[in-house]
Amino acid sequence: MIGYIIRRLIQAFFVILGVTLVVFILSQLIPGGEARAALGPKATQLQIDHFNHLNGFDQPLWVQYWHYLLGLFKGNLGYSYRNNQGVTSLIAQRLPKTMVLVGASTLLSLIIAIPVGMRQAVRRNSLFDYTVTGVGFFLYAMPAFLVGELLILYFSFDLGWFPSQPPSTASAWAVFTQPQDFVLPVITLAALTIAGFSRYMRSSVLDTLAEDYIRTAKAKGAGPRRVLYGHALRNALLPLLTLIGLTLPAIVGGALITEDVFNYPGMGLLTVQAAQNDDIPLVLGTTLVATVATVLGSLLADLLYAAADPRIRLGGD
């Protein structure tokens, strides 16, 4: 178990290091460099050279990368010249909101997908199974922004049940004080993953039901309920943890779209607005933070899996 955790931590470390390198390379691709971004199109060559010298941008690339890494360790993600503010503080205000959105929608998705997938497995090839598969196909094909807009059209404009956008000043805690503001964004993001999760749950339960210990349990006289909930469900749930870890990048990407649709002031909206303003340092900063959060989330999912599954805990591999 400890060997596994250490190996997994080292792997996550190198992935994060690699991502910083990718982001650093992207920052080198900015046309005209950061100087142009900071000083504007009218800056003279002399001013640009001076700016580059002051910020160390005239040094060899590996030195610059090293300084970039050192800056990251101190929590310095760069400077948004458009907002005249450090990227770190801009992101720090927004990150909790995105985490609330991602967490709540993943939870909702699981609450729906697990029972649906189980029922599909138990009633395989039934009308229910086919219907859910068909609906799943459409959900998968529906772009997140279309789902969001349709929800706004019906539940916000037509029925007036929920607001079409949460108040932008509220903090992440508003999810407890004003939950109705979060209903539509959370459903939108959950719609992205429900189809995949229930599909996976279906095949996972089917695999588990074919195991020997299920036959043994049945032979010992355990009722169908006990077999399903006591034996099959618990074992079928495990691989779902890994799937959540693997789906996390897609969920975070979906959160970006969802935030744009609902004007939800999280990190995704920050990124989109930065992109529309050509604020490249800010875009790169959010990309890095979103990725690191994703890597850490996947790491957490894997560690939970290891803690829950004795085959990994004791097997060593």
Partner 1 sequence: MSNPFEHMPVEEVVAEQEELLPSGGDAVAGDSFWRNMVRVFSQNKLAIASLLFLIFIILFCFLGPFFYHTNQTNGQEALMNSTNNAAPGAGHPLGTDDNGFDILGRLMFGGKISLIVGFASAIVATVIGVIYGALSGFFGGWLDSALMRLVDIGLSIPLLFLLIALVTIYRPTAPLLIIVIAAVSWLVPARLIRAETLSLRTREYVQAVKVMGGTRKRIIGRHIIPNSVGTIVVFATFNVADSILTLAALGFLGLGVPAPQTDWGTMLSNGVNYAANGYWWEIYPVGLCIVLVVVALNYIGDALRDALEVRLQRR
Residues that bind partner 1 (CB under 8 A): 11, 14-15, 18-19, 22-23, 26, 29-31, 137-138, 140-146, 149, 152-153, 157, 249-250, 252-254, 256-257, 260, 271-272, 274-276, 278, 280, 283-284, 286-287, 290-291, 294-295, 298
Q: Which residues does residue 85 pair with via DSSP β-bridges, in sequence order? A: 80
Angle formed by the axes of helices 183-209 and 144-151, nearest 10°: 130
User: To the nearest whole angstrom, how small is the minimum distance from the Cβ of residue 35 to partner 1?
Assistant: 15
Cα separation, 94 vs 85, whole angstroms: 14
- CB of 315 vs partner 1, minimal distance in Å: 22
Positive or negative, the CA dihedral 170, 172, 177, 178 is positive
For 78, the token pair is 């760069």
Q: Which is nearer to partner 1, 132 or 217 (CB)?
A: 132
Residue number with CB closer to partner 1 (154 or 229): 154
Q: Which is nearer to partner 1, 5 or 272 (CB)?
A: 272
CB of 12 to partner 1, least distance (A): 9
- Minimum distance, C-beta of residue 275 to partner 1, in the bound complex (Å): 4
Q: How far is the CB of 212 from partner 1 (least distance, A)?
A: 25
CB of 132 to partner 1, least distance (A): 15
CB atoms < 10 A from the CB of 128, how many? 14
Tokens 């596994």 correspond to 4
- Closer to partner 1 by CB, 54 or 150: give it: 150
Judged by CB, which is closer to partner 1: 44, or 276?
276
Q: How far apart are CA 71 and CA 68, in angstroms?
A: 5
Least separation in angstroms between CB 230 and partner 1: 34
> Considering beta carbons, is residue 125 or 276 the nearer one to partner 1?
276
Q: Please identify, using beta-carbon distances, which residue of 143 and 310 lies nearer to partner 1.
A: 143
